[in-house]
Structure 1
């Protein structure tokens, strides 16, 4: 098994985990865990929870998209290269964020914008 196979396995595992998380979130959003409460205070809490769950769904979909893009870059032979400047992304950054698209320098510049 070469390094790309290991990276691919890691990214595919992460994608599967994120997909599973989305399925659980979707089930919660459809209230498959049971009927809504009859208590007004509990309903207010459930609505707040729904807002949090909705935000989690958005974040999870975004992260899943980044992981899928990383897999596409791996297939294209471009994984580990910054999509802005083309320079290699530091191995420590890829270890922490295997879906990273930008090197530290370009990420910092983008943050300033």
Structure 2
């Protein structure tokens, strides 16, 4: 199988996993399966858990956005092209960070300058 096609399939699978996670998180936060406890101290713990779940959901949404961008880049033929310098992104780097938009050199430069997204 073509390495880019394999990466595309992996990205699509990861997106499905994240969408499933978000659906589960939303159900947990809305307490569809289990209403809030009547005990105030229990409610406080449940609300703290909701905040953690919300943060996980937000991180998942952010990753989905990165995956969607990567899938668009695959479709447009720009997946292996660094958005900063237009040099090729090595396939090994894409295998490690499939939604990256930078080659290793540019990523290191951006990170060291403190301008990472």
Give the TM-score of the pair, scaled to structure 1. 0.90
- Of residues 84-93 and 43-52 in structure 1, the stretch that sits farther from structure 2 once superposed is 84-93
Q: In the alignment, what sits opposite 1:108?
A: 108
RMSD: 1.4
In structure 1, runs of 5+ residues without a counterpart are none
Q: Is the 8 A contact 2:89 2:104 kept in 1?
A: yes
Q: In the alignment, what sits opposite 2:49?
A: 49
- TM superposition shift of 1:52: 0.7
> How far, CA to CA, are the matches of 2:90 and 2:6 in structure 1?
17
> How far, CA to CA, are the matches of 1:92 and 1:6 in structure 2?
13
Q: In the alignment, what sits opposite 1:70?
A: 70
Structure 1: 4+ residue segments shifted above 4 A: none
> How far, CA to CA, are the matches of 2:20 and 2:75 in structure 1?
23
The one-character-per-residue Cα deviations of 1:8-62 (angstroms, maximum 9, x if unpaired) are 2111111111111111111112111211011122111111111111111110000
- TM superposition shift of 1:93: 2.0
In structure 2, runs of 5+ residues without a counterpart are none
> How far, CA to CA, are the matches of 2:105 and 2:59 in structure 1?
24
Secondary structure of 2:100 counterpart? coil
Give the TM-score of the pair, scaled to structure 2. 0.87
- Of residues 44-53 and 85-94 in structure 1, the stretch that sits farther from structure 2 once superposed is 85-94
- TM superposition shift of 1:6: 1.6
The one-character-per-residue Cα deviations of 1:72-109 (angstroms, maximum 9, x if unpaired) are 00000011221111112233321111111112222223
Q: Does 1:25 align with 2:35?
A: no
